Amino acid sequence: MAEEVRAEMVANVWKIVVAEGDHVDDGDTLAILESMKMEIPVIAEASGTVSLKVAEGDVVQEGDLIAVIG
Amino acid sequence: MFESVLIANRGEIARRIIRTVQRMGLKAIAVYSEADADLPFVKEADEAVLLGAPPPAEIYLDVARVLEAANQSGAHAVHPGYGFLSENAAFAQAVIDAGLVWIGPSPQAIVAMGDKVAARNLVGDAGVPIARGTREPVVDVDAAVLAANDVGYPVMVKAAGGGGGIGMSVARDEAELRTAFATAQSRAERFFGNPSILLEQYVASARHVEVQILGLAGGRVVALGERDCSVQRRHQKVAEETPCPVLTPELRARMIDAAVRAGESVGYVGAGTVEFLLDPASLATGGEFFFLEMNARLQVEHPITELVTGIDLVEQQLLAAAGEPPTFDPDAVAARGHAIELRVYAEDPKRFLPSPGTITTWIQPSGSGVRVDAGYAQGNTVTPFYDPLLAKLCVHGPDRATALERARAAVAGFQIEGLKSNLPFFVELLGDPEFVAGTYDTGLIDRMRAPKANPAS
């Protein structure tokens, strides 16, 4: 089943660590968000192929989809 | 005295500086980003200049744009606040070159203190105690491993050009050092544009105690007491108090002497802070402390010094910059009572993760001995672009017990809704036995957040 990875808070997408279509494992860092001068890693909670829904520099709102792992 | 001051900052500190500038009968000029257009500091300034379009996070760092705003508004002087351009020597020099008054220490003093390695060497040579550490900046990881063997584990890994706790971590062995070094270097490069790293002996369970200094026009450096800033999360301060509950008069005198010496070593003018680590284990034998760094600017937590001394530090900064004498007698500085500052952040009170959002309710406490320096008001949106400081809740009382009591009442009376704040954390802190006893150190919050063992029956 596909796992949806969503933003926990309003933030800027500072870095995308993985590439579209990469295989990721549970616990891998997918991206790093930045909010209020703090870096917040976005972690995969499942293994599979990653499909990215944001790009570096995007501003995400709480609950926005960052990636899907299928 | 100059007639107008441009404040190159935002939020609570811009508002706080505007207040003193206006009280002195001078014109206060704000600069702001589009994201900050609705904040109180923009409305309260006599004039406000929009710095421009996004990216909002970088616009307050744009030297050319800030200088253009100063020129456009006819400002006579520039106050940088803290953070942003406050310790940027090139900005200070550009302000001076534009024929304006720079409200701060000389660009030379900023350079001398801005590099942590150089600063350590400079004050160490002036007779101020420093911890074991690298005398040269470390630029690659293998050199760091070699240096750490000399300094001795655990070591603190720090950005040489950094501040605010960003890029700092502790390494207990070589493996941890390799990881910490990579992280510190990437952050150092990103946040400070300088990849140099400093390794320093790590003092576990230390207290962080700093001395407020003021370099007067004419060259004299005076100290205005200390602040204990040991309540920290992620190496960033959360609460401060003055006086430090564990200093003896003899130890205080030694720290003040060291701080004045550090200031004199760079010909310091204006308000500055000399930070020390105090080893609590050494208190029984008189107390041992080490120079940590010097902040060449007004400090976030300056209000508690103002509360106990009755001295407006921003006013003294302006006077020193204008070449005028201070409003107080430097030979008769006295601290009265006890003051505590609580940094109210937009973050969840358990894990301290950022919580931007729109403030739907904002009711500040008031009462005897309560001072609130707030950057926001009801209806404002707290964006993710800046640090999470919403307000500084400060209390003053005749003694520590009264200050604690007033702090509890003030926290209970502060209502913020629409986003998460760390106010519930302060309820915990003000009831924590270590904090209440005054025996805490920088490990306090980690201990408060450590998984609790099963309570003994």
- CA distance, residue A34 to nearest chain B CA (Å): 8
DSSP state string for B153-222: SSEEEEETT--TTTT-EEESSHHHHHHHHHHHHHHHHHHHS---EEEEE--TT-EEEEEEEEEPTTS-EE
Q: Do A9 and B383 touch (CB under 8 A)?
A: no
User: What is the predicted pLDDT for the residue at B54?
Assistant: 63
What span, in angstroms and rounded, lies between the C-alpha atoms of B29 and B48?
6
Within B268-312, strands assigned E span 270-279, 288-295
Q: Do A9 and B384 touch (CB under 8 A)?
A: yes
Q: Which residue of B has its CA nearest to A40?
A: B353
Q: Do B356 and A10 touch (CB under 8 A)?
A: yes
Q: Which residue of B has its CA nearest to A58?
A: B55
Q: Is the peptide bond before B384 cis (omega within 30 degrees of 0)?
A: no
What span, in angstroms and rounded, lies between the C-alpha atoms of B332 and B14?
30
Cβ neighbours of B452 (radius 10 Å): 7
Q: Which of B164, B166, B354 sits opposite A36 (nearest CB)?
A: B354
Q: Which of B164, B166, B388 sits opposite A36 (nearest CB)?
A: B388
User: What is the predicted pLDDT for the residue at B457?
Assistant: 42
Q: Dihedral of CA B345/B290/B338/B450: which sign?
A: positive
Q: Do A12 and B357 touch (CB under 8 A)?
A: no
User: Touching check for B387 and chain A: CB below 8 Å?
Assistant: yes
Q: Do B356 and A8 touch (CB under 8 A)?
A: no
Catalytic residues of B: 297
Q: Is the peptide bond before B433 cis (omega within 30 degrees of 0)?
A: no
Contacts of B386 in chain A (CB under 8 A): 36-37
**Residue tagged 């997408």 (tokens):** A13
Q: Do A11 and B384 touch (CB under 8 A)?
A: yes
Which residues of A lie closer than 8 Å to B, measured between beta carbons?
8-12, 34-38, 40, 59
Distances (CA, A) of B340 to A39, B215, B436: 29, 25, 12
Q: Do A40 and B353 touch (CB under 8 A)?
A: yes
Contacts of B234 in chain A (CB under 8 A): 38
Cβ-count burial B334-366 (b if 16+ within 10 Å, e if not): ebebbbbbbbbbbbbbeebebbbbebeebebbe
Q: Is the pLDDT of residue A11 over 80?
A: yes
User: What is the predicted pLDDT for the residue at B188?
Assistant: 86
- CA distance, residue B288 to nearest chain A CA (Å): 33
DSSP state string for B418-444: SS--SHHHHHHHTT-HHHHHT---TTH
Sequence letter at residue B148: A
Helix, strand or coil for residue B105?
A: coil
Are the beta carbons of B357 and B53 closer than 8 angstroms? no
User: What is the predicted pLDDT for the residue at A53?
Assistant: 96
Tens digit of pLDDT at every position of chain B (457 positions): 999 999 999 999 999 999 999 999 999 999 999 999 999 999 999 999 999 876 777 899 999 999 999 999 999 999 999 999 999 999 999 999 999 999 999 999 999 998 889 999 999 999 999 999 999 999 899 999 999 999 999 999 998 887 767 778 899 999 999 999 998 998 888 777 888 899 999 988 899 999 999 999 999 999 999 999 999 998 899 999 999 999 999 999 999 999 999 999 999 999 999 999 999 999 999 999 999 999 999 999 999 999 999 999 999 999 999 999 999 999 999 999 999 999 999 999 999 999 999 999 999 999 999 999 999 999 999 999 999 999 999 999 999 999 999 999 999 999 999 999 999 999 999 999 999 999 999 999 999 999 876 654 4
Contacts of A34 in chain B (CB under 8 A): 384
Sequence letter at residue B292: L
Residue-wise pLDDT tens digits, A13-63: 989 999 999 999 999 999 999 888 888 899 999 999 999 999 999 999 989
Contacts of B383 in chain A (CB under 8 A): 10
User: Touching check for B356 and chain A: CB below 8 Å?
Assistant: yes
pTM for the predicted model, two decimal places: 0.92
User: Touching check for B84 and chain A: CB below 8 Å?
Assistant: no
